[in-house]
Amino acid sequence: MQGVGYRDWLVTTARGLGLSGWVCNRSDGSVEALIAGDAGAVDDCIRACRIGPRLAAVDHVTESLALTAEVRGFAIRPTF
């Protein structure tokens, strides 16, 4: 799904929902994100992630809960 603006789209979507976290490309071609904030807004963001931006072809979204230190803002991280 890389090369279609997914990370930029997710930053805009998450910030619009008042969420914090990060998004990055992975070397295997997938995208990983940490999304934190109001549970309803997180659910809305995950639903949007299943569709993605206009040019994306989302095959699947895997969700898992994470315990994390507080994050502020929403940023793009480097590929790993």
Please, what are the domains in the chain? 6-76 (3.30.70.100)
In the chain, what's the furthest Cα-to-Cα distance?
33
The residue annotated as part of the active site, out of 7, 26, 54, 72, is 7
Is pLDDT at 71 greater than 90 in this prediction? no
Is pLDDT at 77 greater than 90 in this prediction? yes
CA distance linking residue 19 with residue 3, whole number of Å: 24
Q: List, for residues 11-64, the tens digit of each pLDDT value.
A: 999 999 999 999 999 999 899 999 999 999 999 999 999 999 998 889 999 999
Q: Does residue 47 have an active-site annotation?
A: no
The residue annotated as part of the active site, out of 25, 26, 47, 50, is 25
CA distance linking residue 62 with residue 56, whole number of Å: 16
Q: Does residue 7 have an active-site annotation?
A: yes
